Amino acid sequence: MKLFDVYPLFDIAIDHGKGCHVTDTEGIEYLDLYGGHAVISIGHGHPRYLEALNRQAAKLVFYSNSVINPLQQRLADLLGEASGYDDYQLFLVNSGAEANENAMKLASFATGRRRIIAFSKAFHGRTSLAVEATDNPAIQAQVNQNGVVTLVPWEDSEALARELEAGDVAAVIIEPIQGVGGIQVASDRFMRDIRDLTARHGSLMIADEIQCGYGRSGKFFAHQYSGVRPDIITMAKGIANGFPMGALLIAPTIAPVYGMLGTTFGGNHLACAAAIAVLEVMKDENILANVNETGAYIMEQLKGIPGIKEVRGRGLMIGIEMEEPVKQLRSDLIHKEHIFTGASGKNVIRLLPPLCLTRDEADIFISSLRKLTGVG
């Protein structure tokens, strides 16, 4: 049987990983500044994480959400403490798109309204409503085009106010730092305008923290730089260091009703064990401090490298916009320097490394980049 060929692939098969490095089936080791698309948070093969997974797998991998799962409550307690959202409610799912899908559905339930506002260049996932809220018609099928979502220009508070005045908007969904859109950091003013305007017009604010959240920006959530508290916060990627999981934090003002949301696999025992280990390691190893230090160091070191138009981002979510397309540069980074990076559009290199990246590992990247741009 053939694989359904939807991914343009690098001709590399990763066999194993340790910390911020991965090794392919040929035995070549790579520095991982991509984190498997922002997924690896505490590092590949972390011993405490593996121990927690193995221990739980030997006991119980899965049982359904029709019985009490004490691991879910333990995760909720740790997450409340780590994020500062102890008063919110936790709903567990399996992926980022599923988290956003549920967030928008919940907003519609809670407000009795059916319109969603998203922003230009947004990416919220590939399921029905999540992809309708994504600014890319090429990945929307006709069944996704239901006229539910209005796209508003990024940072345009006046346009947002005009839309909200209609009184039919269930939620405004925003990535506090756009990922696929090229590492665009929403200004504090824009975040506060969204919070004020949604509150004034009876709409909910959803922060999509799937890529920028869970410590990646240097705060637990990227929206916390602006001091706002959204009604719903979605997360996935780094939450379980590679084990598939997603989650919603839901404000106490939104009341649950039996059956309004549900999932077979969401919050299963093995996923919870993985996510608990991630939060324990993040705390014990002071991962947030490392994100801030190493992120600031990279930003500083990038200054003065020729061909860079702009560096954007926060913490270890860094976009390097080059003056020229980055396809060849990324290919050279992988094949000649053995460094994985991500990209956004044609000109932006995206760094989404494991959050335990060290200064020495950052130096390897900086000297490779200097070499490839002709100054090393």
Ligand X SMILES: Cc1ncc(COP(=O)(O)O)c(C=O)c1O
Of 11-19, 41-49, 70-78, 117-125, the window that binds ligand X (rule: CB under 6 A) is: 117-125
Contacting residues for 298 by C-beta, under 8 A, at least 6 apart: 316, 318, 351, 362, 365, 366
For ligand X, what does the binding mask look like between residues 202 and 241, x meaning CB under 6 A?
A: ------x-xx------------------------x-----
Among the listed residues 41, 56, 95, 102, the single contact to ligand X using CB under 6 A: 95
Q: Which is nearer to ligand X, 28 or 139 (CB)?
A: 139
Site for ligand X in 136-175 (CB under 6 A): 175
CB 108 within 8 A of CB 114: yes
Q: Torsion-angle region of residue 29: left (phi > 0), alpha (psi -120 to 50) or beta?
A: beta
Of 121-129, 260-268, 283-291, 352-360, the window that binds ligand X (rule: CB under 6 A) is: 121-129
- Please work out the total of residues on this chain that contact ligand X, with binding judged by CB under 6 A: 14
Q: Which is nearer to ligand X, 131 or 311 (CB)?
A: 131
Among the listed residues 17, 96, 230, 313, the single contact to ligand X using CB under 6 A: 96
Shortest CB 139 distance to ligand X, Å: 11
Residue 123 binds ligand X, judged by CB under 6 A: yes
Among the listed residues 179, 267, 342, 353, the single contact to ligand X using CB under 6 A: 179
Residue 299 and residue 316: Cα distance in Å, rounded? 10
Q: Which is nearer to ligand X, 106 or 372 (CB)?
A: 106
Shortest CB 179 distance to ligand X, Å: 4
Of 66-74, 96-104, 272-280, 289-297, the window that binds ligand X (rule: CB under 6 A) is: 96-104
Residue 184 binds ligand X, judged by CB under 6 A: no
Q: Which is nearer to ligand X, 56 or 184 (CB)?
A: 184
Site for ligand X in 4-23 (CB under 6 A): none
Residue 36 binds ligand X, judged by CB under 6 A: no
Shortest CB 213 distance to ligand X, Å: 9
Of 119-127, 146-154, 298-306, 310-318, the window that binds ligand X (rule: CB under 6 A) is: 119-127
Q: Reduce the secondary structure of the chain to three states and give it as a string.
A: CCCCCCCCCCCCCEEEEEECEEEECCCCEEEECCHHHHCCCCCECCHHHHHHHHHHHHHCCCCCCCCCCHHHHHHHHHHHHHHCCCCCEEEEECCHHHHHHHHHHHHHHHHCCCEEEEECCCCCCCCHHHHHCCCCHHHCCHHHCCCCEEEECCCCHHHHHHHHCCCCEEEEEECCEECCCCCEECCHHHHHHHHHHHHHCCCEEEEECCCCCCCCCCCCCHHHHCCCCCCEEEECHHHHCCCCCEEEEECCCCCCCCCCCCCCCCCCHHHHHHHHHHHHHHHHCCHHHHHHHHHHHHHHHHCCCCCEEEEEEECCEEEEEECCCCHHHHHHHHHCCCEECEEECCCEEEECCCCCCCHHHHHHHHHHHHHHCCCC
Q: Which is nearer to ligand X, 275 or 305 (CB)?
A: 275
- 27 C-beta neighbours (distance < 10 Å), count: 7
Of 40-48, 122-130, 250-258, 340-348, the window that binds ligand X (rule: CB under 6 A) is: 122-130
Residue 124 binds ligand X, judged by CB under 6 A: yes
Among the listed residues 17, 125, 182, 266, the single contact to ligand X using CB under 6 A: 125
Q: Which is nearer to ligand X, 210 or 355 (CB)?
A: 210
Residue 97 binds ligand X, judged by CB under 6 A: yes
Of 66-74, 92-100, 291-299, 306-314, the window that binds ligand X (rule: CB under 6 A) is: 92-100
- Please work out, in degrees rounded to the nearest 5, the angle formed at the alpha carbon of residue 48 by the alpha carbons of 22 and 24: 10
Shortest CB 211 distance to ligand X, Å: 4
Four-CA torsion 344, 345, 348, 351, nearest 10 degrees: 10
Q: Which is nearer to ligand X, 305 or 313 (CB)?
A: 313
- Which residues contact ligand X (rule: CB under 6 A)? 95-97, 100, 123-125, 175, 179-180, 208, 210-211, 236
